[in-house]
A and B are shown apart, each in its own frame.
Chain A
Amino acid sequence: MMGIDPVTLIVALIGASTPILLAAIGELVVEKSGVLNLGVEGMMIVGAVSGFIIAINTGSPWLGFAAGAVGGAGLSLIFALLTQYLLSNQVATGLALTLFGLGLSSLMGEAYTGINPPLTPDLFPQALRDIPVAGPILFGHDLVIYLSVLLVAGVWYALRHTRMGLILRAVGESHDAAHALGYKVIRIRICAILFGGACAGLGGAYLSLVRVPSWTEGMTAGAGWIALAIVVFASWKPWRALIGAYLFGGIAALQLRLQAAEINIPVMFLDMSPYLVTIIVLVIISSDRGRAALNAPAALGKVFHASG
C-alpha cells in the first residue's frame, strides 16, 4: 500500500479550492452589504464560458481571466437592477439568475467544446519550484492563486480598517440608518454585487482555463452552491472563508487520494463532512442570539426602499 504524498495533496487542494474561494470571497462582500445573491453558480459558469471564449480567440489566458470577471459582473448587473431598482425578491431572483446563467453559457459555448485553451504559465521560475517541499507548495502556482489570497487579505483589510468597509457594513447592518446618514445604499449595494459577480466570474474562468481546462456545458457542477455554503460556514469573515474553501477542497482532494492509495475508509462520510459542518452552522445561525454571535449582517436579504 502506498502512502499519500502530503506535498502533492496540498498543491492539489490549493488548485481545487481556488474557484470556490474566489466565488466565496465575492459573495461575502455582497452579503456584507446586506444582499443575498443565490446566483453564484450562474455567474461562475458565465464567467467560465466568457473567459474561455476570449482566451481562445486572443490566445491570452490573462485576457480570458479579465473577460471571465467582466462576464460574471455583467450577469450580476441584471440581478442588481432587478433587486435594487425593481425591488424583486432576492432569493427568487438569485435562483433565476443561476438557471439563466446555465442556459446562457451553454448557448454561448456551443462552438467551443473540445478545444484546449492557451496554457496559463506558473508565476515563479523552475529553480524556485524545484525547492523540496516549499517549492511546489509556495511557488508552484499561477498568478490567479496568489491573487485569490491577496483578495482575501484585501477584503479583510477593507472591511475592517477602512472607511469604505465601515460604510459597506453599515449598509448591510441597517440600510435605513445608513440612508439616514446620507449614504447611497442602492449605489453601494450595486457596487458590491458587481464585485461579487466579478469574483465569481474569475473563479469560473479559473475552472475552464486552469482546473479542467476546457469548456463543457454545466462544468461548474455545483461549485457555486459550495461557495455560498462557505460564506455561512465562515460566518462572514474573510480568513475563515479561506480556511473553509481549503477545507472543502482539501477533503475532496484527500478522498480521491485515499481511494487511489486504496486506504479503505468510508469516503462517503468524508465527502459529507463539510456539508454536515455547514448544516450545523446553519442550525446555530437560525437562533437569534446565535445569529448575532455569528456575525450575519442584520439587513441580509431585506429589500430597501427609500421612502419618506
Chain B
Amino acid sequence: MKPNLTYLAGAALALGLAAPAIAQDEPLQVGFVYVGSIGDLGWTYEHDQSRLAVEEHFGDAVETTYVENVPEGADAERVMTQMVLNGADLIFTTSFGYMDATNAVAARFPEVYFEHATGYRRDHPNVSTYSARFYEGRAVIGHIAGHMTESNIVGYIASYPIPEVIRGINSAYLHAREVNPDVEFRVVWVYTWFDPAQEADAAQALIDQGADVIMQHTDSTAPMTVAAEAEVVAFGQASDMEQFAPFPRVASIIDNWAPYYIARTQAVMDGTWESVDTWDGIAPGMVELGEFSERIPEDVRASAQALADSIADGSYHPFTGPINRQDGTVWLVEGEVADDGTLAGMDFYVEGITGEIPN
C-alpha cells in the first residue's frame, strides 16, 4: 500500500547517514497525508494529481512521499511524525480532521513546515492553512441546475452538517432560485465523505422523490452511475468525473491544488515560507469549472460562463444581499457582501430552503 514511502524511508536514511556533507544538494522532501485512497476519483485523487504536478515542476529538486487512507485521529499523528523522521521538510495534511494532529506534530518539529487543508488552527509559526472557495463553483452549477430542472426539484447529497457543506448548499440554492423561482432543494445527509453504496442509495432516494438534478458533496462517483441509469443531470465533484460526460455529468467543480503546492514548495526552497491562511477561489485557479457539456442549452452555457467570469474578476460575490436567513431575518441587506468570518462559520440555511440542518 505504501511502497514509495518505504522506499524513500530507506533512501532518506541512507542519505542522512552517508552524506551530511552534500546536504546542499539533497532534494527537498515533501510529504502528503491523505484521508482517502488516491483512486477515489474525487478529493484525494485531486490532491495526488497536484502532488504529481509538484514533482513534474521541480524535477530532481524535490522528492515527494504520500500515505493514503490515514484515519483522522491519533494515527495521523504517528504518520506525520514518521514522515518527519524520514526527512520531510514540508508536509501537506489534506483533511479537516487532521487539525489537532498537524498542530501537535508541528509543535515538536519547529524546523519542519506544515500545511493543513480546510482547517483554521495555526498554533505555531510553522503551520499554514489553506482551502478553496468551493461555493464560487457551487454558484455556477446551481445556476445550471436551476435552468436544467424540469420537475423543479434538485436533490443534494450532503456529507456532514459543517459550514463548508452548508455554504455550498446555500450558494447553489441562491443561484438556482435566481433563474428559477420555483426550484426546491431536497437535502439528504449521509454522514460520510466516502461510502459508494450509501451515496448511490441517497441518489436513488432523491430521484424517487422527484429530483431530476443531483448534486453531491461526497467523494465517490456512485451518485453519477445512479444518475446515468435514471437519466437525470449530475455534476462532477472535487474532480472532473469526465468519464460520465456529456451526460449525466454536465459540468463539474474541480479542486486544483497544484499552483498552491508548487508556490509553497518554492517558498520553502527560497526560505520565504511563512505561516499564512489561504482561501482562494476561481480567480487564482484553485477552484476550476469542468467543461460545460453540450447537453446544457447554449444560452445557459453562456450565462454560466458569464457568472463564473464575474466571480473571477471580482465584480460579483456569490453571497451578495439582499439575502435573508431561513427564519426570515435579514442576513445581508441590498448590495451587502458576506464577510469571510460569517462564511467560514456558516451554520444556517438561507430563506427558501425548506429542510432543517440536523444538529
Residues of A within 8 A of B (CB): 2, 4-5, 8-9, 12, 16, 19, 103, 106-107, 109-110, 113-116, 207, 211-214, 216-221, 223, 252-253, 256-257, 259-262, 264, 266-268
Whether, in the assembled complex, B195 has its beta carbon less than 8 Å from a beta carbon of chain A, the answer is yes
Does B317 touch A at the CB level, under 8 Å? no
Is the pair B196, A256 in contact by a Cβ cutoff of 8 Å?
no
B205 engages A216 (CB within 8 Å): no
Q: A103-B1, A207-B197, A212-B225 are in contact. Are A217 and B37 (CB under 8 A)?
A: yes
Complexed CA–CA distance, A114 and B38 (Å): 12
Chain A to chain B: the 7 pairs with minimum beta-carbon distance, closest first? A256-B205, A217-B37, A260-B209, A113-B39, A221-B195, A8-B208, A259-B188
Taking a contact as CB atoms under 8 Å apart, the answer to whether A212 and B222 are in contact is yes
A223 CB, nearest partner CB in chain B, Å: 7
Q: Mark B217-257, 1 if CB is under 8 A from A, else 0.
A: 00011100100100000000000000100000000000000
* A-B pairs under 8 A by CB, number: 108
Interface set, chain B 172-204, CB cutoff 8 A to A = 186-190, 192, 194-198, 200-202, 204
Name B200's contact: one of A2, A212, A260, A264 (CB within 8 Å): A212
B residues in contact (CB < 8 Å) with A: 1, 36-37, 39-41, 69, 155, 186-190, 192, 194-198, 200-202, 204-206, 208-211, 220-222, 225, 228, 243, 354-356, 358
Contact A212 B197 (CB under 8 A): yes
In the complex the two chains form, is A261's CB within 8 Å of B209's CB?
Answer: yes
Does A5 contact B197, Cβ atoms closer than 8 Å? no
A212 to B196, alpha carbons, bound, how many Å? 6
Contacts of A253 on B, CB cut-off 8 Å?
201, 205
CA distance A103 to B209 in the complex (A): 38
CA A213 – CA B226 in complex, angstroms? 8
- Are A221 and B196 in contact, with the CB atoms below 8 A? yes
Whether the pair B243, A213 counts as a contact (CB closer than 8 A) is no
B197 and A260 within 8 A (CB): no
Establish whether residues A256 and B221, one from each chain, have CB atoms under 8 Å apart when the complex forms.
Answer: no
B204 in complex: contacting residue of A12, A107, A219, A264, CB < 8 Å: A12
Query: B157 CB to closest chain A CB, in angstroms?
Result: 9
Residues of A near B354 (CB, < 8 A) are 262
Contact of B356 with A264 in the complex, beta carbons under 8 Å: yes
Given contacts A12-B201, A260-B186, contact A213 B209 (CB under 8 A): no
CB atoms of A214 and B194 under 8 A apart:
no
Which of A16, A207, A216, A257 has its CB near the most chain B CB atoms (within 10 A)? A216
Query: Please, which residues of chain A bring their CB within 8 A of the CB of B37?
Result: 106, 216-218
Contacts of A266 in B (CB 8 A): 358
Determine whether the beta carbon of B208 is less than 8 Å from that of A257.
yes
Q: Is there contact, CB below 8 Å, between B189 and A259? A: yes
Give the nearest-CB partner of B204 in chain A: A12
Q: For the complex formed, measure the closest distance between the CB of B224 and the CB atoms of chain A, giving whole angstroms.
A: 9
Residues of A within 8 Å of B222, CB to CB, are 212, 214, 216
Contact A216 B221 (CB under 8 A): yes
Whole-angstrom CA separation of A220 from B188 in the bound complex:
20
Find out whether the CB atom of A211 lies under 8 angstroms from the CB atom of B1: no
B97 to chain A, nearest CB (A): 17
In the complex, the chain A residue whose C-beta lies closest to that of B45 is A113
* Complex alpha-carbon distance, A262 and B189, angstroms: 11
Given A257-B205, A259-B355, A262-B354, 12 more A-B residue pairs with CB atoms under 8 Å apart are A4-B209, A106-B39, A110-B39, A115-B243, A116-B225, A211-B200, A214-B225, A217-B36, A218-B37, A256-B190, A256-B205, A262-B186
CB of B188 within 8 A of CB of A216, answer: no
Chain A residues with CB under 8 A of B186: 259-262
Bound Cα distance A219, B222 (Å): 10
Q: How far is the CA of A116 from the CA of B222 in the complex (A)?
A: 10
A214/B39 in contact, CB under 8 A: no
Expressed in whole angstroms, the Cα–Cα distance for A213 and B155 within the complex equals 20
Which A residues are CB-close (under 8 A) to B39? 106, 109-110, 113, 216-217
Whole-angstrom distance from the CB of B152 to the nearest CB of chain A? Answer: 12
Residue contact B243 to A114, C-beta cutoff 8 Å: yes
B234 → A minimal CB distance (Å): 14
Q: A106-B39, A214-B221, A216-B40 are known contacts. Are A262 and B355 too (CB-CB below 8 A)?
A: yes
A and B contact pairs by CB, cutoff 8 A, 9 listed? A106-B1, A116-B225, A116-B228, A207-B197, A216-B37, A216-B222, A221-B192, A259-B205, A260-B155
Tell me the smallest distance from the CB of A225 to a CB of chain B, in Å.
Answer: 13
Among A16, A109, A113, A214, which residue has its beta carbon within 8 angstroms of that of B201? A16
List B contacts of A217 (CB < 8 A). 36-37, 39-40, 69
Closest-CB distance, B41 to chain A (whole angstroms)? 5
Residues of A within 8 A of B69 (CB): 217-218
Least CB separation from A110: chain B residue: B39
Report B359 CB to chain A, min CB distance, Å: 10
Query: Which B residue's beta carbon lies closest to that of A103?
Result: B1
Closest Cβ of chain B to A227, distance in Å, is: 13
Separation of A103 and B155 alpha carbons in the complex (Å): 34
In the docked arrangement, what's the CA distance between A268 and B161, Å? 13
B220 touches A216 (CB 8 A): yes
